[in-house]
Chains A and B, each alone.
Chain A
Amino acid sequence: MSLIEAKSISRNVATTAGELQILSTLSVAIEAGEAVAIVGASGSGKSTLLSLLAGLDLPSTGEIYIDNVKLNDLDEEQRAILRGEKIGFIFQSFLLIQSLTALENVMLPAELAGTKKPEEQARELLGKVGLGERLTHYPNQLSGGEQQRVAIARAFIGKPQILFADEPTGNLDSKTGARVEELLFELNREFGTTLIMVTHDEKLAQRCDRILRIEDGRILEQAHVA
């Protein structure tokens, strides 16, 4: 079985105008170590797909498995534990905790998982992303690129099997974006992580092994990148 498998999933939401289908009977399987880009226009359902694959939300119908564990059977708490053990995240808006320093932000997932002495590992990771000198800076004292690098270090601290990235360079200028992109792929290789990335950026998508093109809640095309 694949590392991640979605079987005929759909996601509906209730609106004032009635039920709206965001994803419709969609199936996808992602192998361990694979890098997959999810692309599509705004509102096509790619972020919803990401949220379902990452266990942040549950599908209205269909089943999702991560590492042979059926997410539908898990409650919110159990899914949180699963995410803590297996999944890392990078977001477009970085989502660092403003009250914590760069180092503390990186340590956070490990501390939440109860890892002893995560500081050394966090320092090392921040060194890797080039922020060894800015450990005690708060997010608002860092530039956007620096914040995203902190977020990358945070994502890798728990040595996750899977990394979900939602428009990781979407908020950055092209030069900074390129640097962050480089870093992301480099660490991904180093840690052997499975990468699932939502992006608008075709160039970025081309660096992945496979591209899922979404339109109106369906997979329009699955293209393997040569």
Chain B
Amino acid sequence: MWHKISWRLLKHELRRGELTIMAAALVLAVCAVLSLSMFSERLQAGLMERSAEFLAADRVLRSRGGEIPNEWLQRADEEGVASARRITFNSMAFANGDMALVDVKAVTDGYPLRGHLEIAEEPFTQGVVADGLPASGETWVQGSLFQQLGLALGDSLEVGDMTFIVTQVLSHEPDSGFSVFTDSPTVLIHNDDLAATGLIQPGSRVNYNYLFAGEPQALQRFESWLRPQLDPVTQRWQNIQDGDSPLSAALTRAEQFMLLASLLGVVLAATAVAVAAQRYAQRNYDAVAVMKTLGGRTRLIARIFSLHLFLLTAASVALGVLLGIILQAVVSWYVSAQLGYDLPAAGNGPYLLAIGTGLLCAVMFSLYPLLRLMKVPPLRVLRRELTASGLSRWLHWALAGGTVFLLMVIYSGSMILSFALFIGGILAMLILLGISRLFIRASRQAGMQAGSSWRLAMAGMQRRSRENSLQMLSFSVAVMLFLLVLALRHELLEDWRGQLPDDAPNYFVVNVASHQVEPMQAMFERESIRATQLYPIIPGRLIAINGTPVRDEVTKEERDDSEYREGFGRELQLTWQRDLPAENTIRAGRWFEPGEAGVSVESQVAERINIGLGDELSFRVGGNEFTVPVTNIRDVDWNTMQPNFFMIFSPELIAEMPATYIASFYLAPDRRPELYQLFRDFPQASLIDVEDILQQVRDVINHVSLAITFVMVLVIAAGGLVLIAQVQASLEERQQELVILRTLGAKSKLLTQAVSYEFIVLGALAGLIATLAMEVSIYVLQTQVFNMPATLHWRFWVLGPLLGAGVVALLGWSVCWRMLRQSTGQLIRKLS
């Protein structure tokens, strides 16, 4: 029987505002969380898949200490992880009576595990995807070697003891690498031919790279098994998010941003649920009192209203899921079309997260109002002022706070971050509450000086100061979150785009001989090619720090490691500069004085091998050894497509040593066919095409911008719902006031103005407070979370109050509009 009563009440309730707002907020939260997490999971998986192509695998084990035990590969196989081996070393190659230093790459079947090789008939032309690897006795070589050795397809190329037939131009290798110092053209051969070259001898400088690919769980299992066994000096386990790719920073920031923004959206939606639930409960106080008076038992009445909540939640969650699936399908379809490949499917995680969030918000934020509703005494039928008693407000705050904290933990996955956000949020709320009260008091005083509708508006604000300051708080939070997301989106995109403008260098030229520096600069100028300066490169090794020798990469003799310090374990590309390069900033110390001998060390390297200012570093360059003090520690932005260096010397030390030169430059894609012609006069120089890497990073940025815009829409919608819920909540009291004022003869125009002014002032103040709060939050986020420089947003100081006033006034006015158009008689009847 009770469910019939419940259903009847619900039918009518649905036509009123509160339940619709609650339903809309829940639908929005579920739909947004589902579509966003699904989309982000798919995008992430898609990007990882694409990014894996840069490694030619999902994970790479780099070993400088020789081959790894066979048992490791067997283990990978057992775990269902595919593997392949790539061995690279430098060697001389001979053809047509000429020779060149090449990078020999011998690979096993299955290579590349991710991405693909592309081959072409002509150097520097668009290739086609290769099917398989070079056959035994054949080789595929990079275009620049054709240029250097005057090769043609079908020519012979000698490498070590073996002669290969060049059968294809290798136009694209997925793992050509981010390091621009792979300065020699690649000669790709099959691993089966490696032994016949006779080039692998004890002591040879050979890089063994083991490629692995498989399902994430299988990789995870293999990784946890393998990691403890790795030698930290000679072996390095690498994946795309390890921080040395230009993608990783963008990906990490985007992920953090989306997480944070969707959490904010959910909290806003939950606030809307709470406000609407409160209002819904209050409106049913009379109904509950009457039911109790007429003999209804509390348990029965609780069932009647719980059923509303249950049906509302179930329907909203279901609708949210449905809309979420449709929305993300549309977005994914669009993104896939833009990307040119299908995004991988998402797992069950997003469904669990979305449904869980919806249920949590619905139950936890409406529980307290519902409990209060059940506490309404029957005596209210005679004493109208009675409301629920015996239920502490602390319970409300505990439930709401606990839920928000739980959501934070779920979304951030970090207890510490959640705790910091939570405490910060509470403090911010208290401060905002204080400020709003102050503002309301101040505007009341200001309003006293003004005309009658202003005075009425300000008096209204003052009278409802408690409700209004809470209302203003939620207006402020809604506007603040909106501004925050807007500003952050702008900052993030600007930051990324700033690093990679459309004309960011897309080629590196390396191995430029010193006598070719001037002709090349002249060529750049003549051809209007924007290039960086040509930096000298001198290969050298760090051999000691403060007199203590560093460990070298190949250890042929037994020695006690404790006598050695950690070093690079490999040859370094050293350079010298008179001035600090543009993309570098000094973190500690100072730039070289003229005539001073010193070295500038990149900050991450300094940290890794524990070098500080004033330390004495010893280097071996060519046959010379020398020792210099560290003059400064330098931050380098590795995400820019510029030549960057770990060690920069003052000119005095190595300027006279033989060097090759490097530069990066931008060549518009439509000028690509000119490359061969442009560099014909520089046969020793090698070109490295990084357009692919750039394109990939731009792809990430574009898709992340899309996702961010999507999140912004969510936050705006959720904020809008909070505002509507709040305005609706204050409607009844306004109604009473309006009746009184109307009865006393106030004209409609005056009342409309008073209501509008009240909302304008509330909105503008909320906007101002929001801007202030936004600046503080963004400062914290930029400096603590996103590792970006902090910025001020002057435009928002105008935009915030205007936006607040505009939106709040519009919403308030549209909700009150119908009320203002009713006759006094209608209003009185409604109130009675």
Which residues from 64 to 102 on chain A have a C-beta closer than 8 Å to any C-beta of chain B? 76-77, 80-85, 87, 89, 91, 93, 95-100
A56 at the interface (CB under 8 A from B): yes
Q: How far is the CB of A111 from chain B (nearest CB, A)?
A: 5
A97's nearest neighbour on chain B, judged by CB, is B287
- Interface pair A56/B291, CB less than 8 Å apart: no
- Interface pair B295/A85, CB less than 8 Å apart: yes
- Interface pair A89/B293, CB less than 8 Å apart: yes
**Quick check: which of B6-14, B341-349, B534-542, B711-719 contacts chain A, the rest being far away?**
B6-14
Q: Residue B382 contacts which of A50, A80, A154, A171 (CB distance < 8 angstroms)?
A: A50
B1 at the interface (CB under 8 A from A): yes
A-B contact count (CB 8 A): 96
Interface size for chain B: under 10, 10 to 19, 20 to 34, or 35 or more residues?
Answer: 20 to 34
**Quick check: which of B178-186, B296-304, B608-616 contacts chain A, the rest being far away?**
B296-304
- Interface pair A80/B12, CB less than 8 Å apart: no
- Interface pair B290/A95, CB less than 8 Å apart: yes
B300's nearest neighbour on chain A, judged by CB, is A112
B821 at the interface (CB under 8 A from A): no
Q: Residue B296 contacts which of A50, A80, A95, A100 (CB distance < 8 angstroms)?
A: A80
Residues of A within 8 A of B798 (CB): none
Once bound together, how far apart are the Cα atoms of A158 and B293, in whole Å? 13
Consensus secondary structure, chain B interface: helix
Q: Residue B295 contacts which of A50, A98, A109 (CB distance < 8 angstroms)?
A: A109
B381 at the interface (CB under 8 A from A): yes
Q: How far is the CB of B824 from chain A (nearest CB, A)?
A: 16
A57 at the interface (CB under 8 A from B): yes
B224 at the interface (CB under 8 A from A): no
Residues of B within 8 A of A112 (CB): 5, 291, 294-297, 300
Interface size on A, residues (CB 8 A): 38
A146 at the interface (CB under 8 A from B): no
Residues of A within 8 A of B515 (CB): none
- Interface pair A111/B5, CB less than 8 Å apart: yes
Task: Tell whether A81 pairs with B295 under 8 Å between CB atoms, given A99-B9, A108-B5.
Answer: yes
Complex interface bits, A100-117 against B, C-beta within 8 A gives 1, otherwise 0:
100010001101111000
Residues of B within 8 A of A61 (CB): none
Once bound together, how far apart are the Cα atoms of A91 and B293, in whole Å? 11
Task: Tell whether A108 pairs with B294 under 8 Å between CB atoms, given A99-B8, A99-B287, A171-B832.
Answer: yes
Residues of A within 8 A of B59 (CB): none
Q: Residue B9 contacts which of A51, A82, A89, A100 (CB distance < 8 angstroms)?
A: A100
- Which residue among B286, B293, B378 has the maximum number of chain A CB atoms within 10 Å of its CB? B293
- Interface pair B295/A83, CB less than 8 Å apart: yes
Residues of B within 8 A of A138 (CB): 12
Once bound together, how far apart are the Cα atoms of A96 and B12, in whole Å? 14
- Interface pair B294/A83, CB less than 8 Å apart: yes
Once bound together, how far apart are the Cα atoms of A112 and B291, in whole Å? 8
A47 at the interface (CB under 8 A from B): yes
Contacts beyond the supplied A91-B381, A109-B294: 17 A-B pairs with Cβ under 8 Å = A47-B383, A56-B377, A77-B299, A80-B296, A83-B293, A84-B295, A84-B296, A91-B382, A96-B290, A97-B9, A99-B13, A104-B5, A108-B291, A112-B294, A138-B12, A154-B294, A158-B295
**Residues of A near any B CB (own CB < 8 A):** 47, 50-51, 54, 56-57, 76-77, 80-85, 87, 89, 91, 93, 95-100, 104, 108-109, 111-114, 138, 140, 144, 154, 158, 166, 171
A-B contact pairs, 20 of them (CB 8 A): A47-B382, A56-B378, A56-B381, A76-B298, A77-B297, A84-B295, A89-B293, A89-B381, A93-B832, A96-B290, A97-B9, A99-B8, A99-B11, A99-B13, A109-B295, A140-B829, A140-B830, A154-B294, A158-B295, A171-B832
